[in-house]
Amino acid sequence: MKQTPWILLLTGILVSLLSACTTSVIKQDNPSFATANDKDYALVYLMRPTPIRTRGVADNDIKVEFGENNLVAELSAGEYVAFKVKPGKIDIITRSIAYVTARTLPEKVWRARNFDFKAGQTYYIHTKFTQEEFRGMYFISEQISKEEAQAMLIRIKPAGELATKNPIS
């Protein structure tokens, strides 16, 4: 009978370790995605490093859209995903929750940036955390170099089939 609390504790630890797997939700279809038959596409990595310190509600998954209301991923901290994208201009929109001004409840916030993807190119997009004082906390998509992406690998892991098969090296 005295062993029951220990069994519960060990079970809890095991469940926590197993839940450390990929948590990002990745959509399989989007108007911006290249099809299996498309030979011309850009490879786009979306990256969200693990924060150095906790940020409250900003630590929740962020929603990433390729064009308004075209969700591609709910990106968790410490993960990156990859997509084959049709060439052209795309607005990458990040949506999150933040405390804004003196309001007592968090609100949905967003930021958008336009990118022009070229066929045959690889892009590394950092969903960069930005704190705008009383205006809240946001994630802003920012293109970075391959070297900068590689430097993030100590705080980030691949999520999803394409990123796992084509890891940043």
**Please, are residues 64 and 113 in contact by the beta-carbon 8 Å criterion?**
no
Compute CA 74 distance to the chain's CA centroid, rounded to the nearest angstrom: 6
- Cα-only R_g, the chain: 18
Confidence check: pLDDT of 134 > 50 = yes
pTM of the model: 0.82
140-152 pLDDT per residue, tens: 999 999 999 999 9
pLDDT at 16: 44
Please tell me which residue, 133 or 130, carries the higher pLDDT value.
130
The share of the chain scoring above pLDDT 90, in percent, equals 54
Instruction: Determine contact, residues 153/49, Cβ cutoff 8 Å.
Output: no
The answer to whether residue 40 scores a pLDDT higher than 90 is yes
E-assigned strand segments in the chain: 25-26, 42-48, 62-66, 71-75, 79-85, 88-98, 107-117, 122-131, 137-144, 157-158
Of 130-134, 136-140, 147-151, least confident by mean pLDDT is: 130-134
